[in-house]
Amino acid sequence: MAPSGSILVDERVTMGDDTSNRRRAAAIGTVTVAVLALMAGGGITGRAIGQDDASLGGGCAGSEADVDIPDETESQAAPLRATSPPKCRPTVFHVAADRKADEKGNGSKARPYQSLEQALAAGQKRNACALEIFVAAGRYEGALSITRPTTVEGTSMLDVIVSGTITNRDTELVLRNLLVTSFESYGPAKCEHSAALRAYGSRNFTLLEHVEINSPKGYGVYQDRGGMVLEDVAVHNVSGCVGDPGSGVGVFVGGGAWAEVSHLQVHGSKSRGVVVMGPGTSLAGTDVEINDTRAMGGDRESGIGIHVGGGAQVGLENVTVTASASQGLDAHGSGTSVAIENLTVTSTGRHPSQPGGPGIPAHSGAVEVREGAVFRSSLLRIQDSAFVGLLAFEEGVVYARGRGAECIVAEQVRAGGCPITVVDSRTSPSTPGANDGGGIAAAAIAGGRIELQNFEIARADLAGLMISGRSSAGAIPQLVARRGIVHHSIIGASVGRDVDVNQVVNSIIDRVVYRDNRRNLSSETLPVPRR
Q: Which residue has the higher pLDDT, 279 or 194?
A: 279
pLDDT tens sequence across 130-158 = 999 999 999 999 899 999 999 999 999 88
pTM of this prediction exceeds 0.85: no
pLDDT at 172 over 80: yes
- Determine how many CB atoms are found less than 10 A away from the CB of residue 470: 15
Closest CA to 274 of 341, 212, 331, 217: 331
Which conformational region is residue 146 in: left (phi greater than 0), alpha (psi within -120 to 50 degrees), or beta?
beta
- Read off the pLDDT of each residue in 12-21 and give the average, rounded to a whole number: 32
Candidate from 80-94, 195-209, 242-256 with smallest mean pLDDT: 80-94
pLDDT at 168 over 80: yes
Q: Rounded distance, CA 269 to CA 247, Å?
A: 9
pLDDT tens sequence across 84-101 = 445 689 999 999 998 764
**Helix, coil or strand: residue 470:** coil
The string over 102-135, giving b where at least 16 C-beta atoms fall within 10 Å of a residue's C-beta and e elsewhere, is eeebebeeeebbbbbbbbbebbeeeebebbbbbb
496 touches 528 (CB < 8 A): yes
Contacts for 492 with CB less than 8 Å, ≥ 6 apart: 463, 464, 465, 486, 514, 517, 519, 520, 521
Radius of gyration of the chain (CA): 25
- pLDDT computed for residue 475 by the predictor: 87
pLDDT tens sequence across 215-248 = 998 899 999 999 999 999 999 999 887 767 788 9
Contacts for 298 with CB less than 8 Å, ≥ 6 apart: 353
